[in-house]
Amino acid sequence: MMTMKIKSLRTKPLQILSSSSNLLKFQSFSSSSTIEQSSLNPGPKTATLTPQLTQQELAKINLLIPRLCLTNNINTAINLTLTALQTNPPPKSLSFSILTHSLTSQPDLVLPMALLTKLKHTPQAHSHLTLITTLLVSSYLKKGRPKDALKVYNWMLRPGSPCKVEKVVCEVLVDGLCRSGLVMEGLRVLREILGMNLVVRSGLRKRVFRSLLREARIREAKELNEALERVENGEGEGLEKVLALLDQIIANWTE
């Protein structure tokens, strides 16, 4: 009885992966068939049929990915995630938290960056890319790896990246960098936030202020805190002064 149950559990992952792969094969065949028919019969363009995973299949995949990660089958978990994303699932229908946790537990960034590169070249996955990168940044910070979190953030900013940088990930990153003593790196990210005309919350302003005080940069801490507070109060001209002040602080820091 127990043996039968174990065998059943072992076959389910393969069945789900096989089902997803078959969907991809059908999608590829459907696209090729549409192109071939269009070349033989020129006329009005028709939309290409995109196979969809059912809610039951998505639920099974969400159960399977954590199992694969827990058994150290991360490459298989990545391939299954990519397969599912190529079917263009609805937003929030797939859970990425366990996968990103497992990826950030790796000793290097080889697998995380490989996943991001594959996602970049998968148009159907672009709507999920911001969430995945945000989870990676947050997870690296929680694990005390702020430099790796910064590398993921820099990947988000690369030319041609389809990833939209959200205000929340910037604020989380600035806070994490400052907590870890990487204050100058935090100021650079803060400069990028403000350069996008985004106003930072008061809690982050206080975090930056305290971090500069710890670095014995008392004058810079007071000036930047006052300038940021003016921006919070809606003074439009204050933003230009904050950007100039940040540029000056960063330049003096690197000399």
Domain ranges of the chain: 97-104+111-165, 183-255
Residue 46: predicted pLDDT: 43
Residue 88: predicted pLDDT: 87
What is the C-alpha to C-alpha distance for residues 78 and 29, in angstroms, rounded to an integer? 23
Residue 68: predicted pLDDT: 95
Task: Show the low-confidence residues of the chain (pLDDT under 70).
Answer: 1-50, 235-237, 255
Residue 91: predicted pLDDT: 84
Residue 161: predicted pLDDT: 85
Judged by DSSP in three states, 115 sits in helix
Helix ranges (H only) for the chain are 2-40, 55-70, 74-85, 97-103, 110-120, 126-142, 146-156, 167-179, 183-195, 202-214, 218-232, 236-254
Q: With contact defined as beta carbons under 8 Å apart, do 223 and 199 qualify?
A: no
Residue 15: predicted pLDDT: 52
Residue 197 gets the label, from left (phi > 0), alpha (psi -120 to 50) or beta, of left
Residue 32: predicted pLDDT: 36
Residue 193: predicted pLDDT: 87
> Which residues have C-beta within 8 Å of that of residue 16, sequence separation ≥ 6?
57, 60, 61, 64, 80
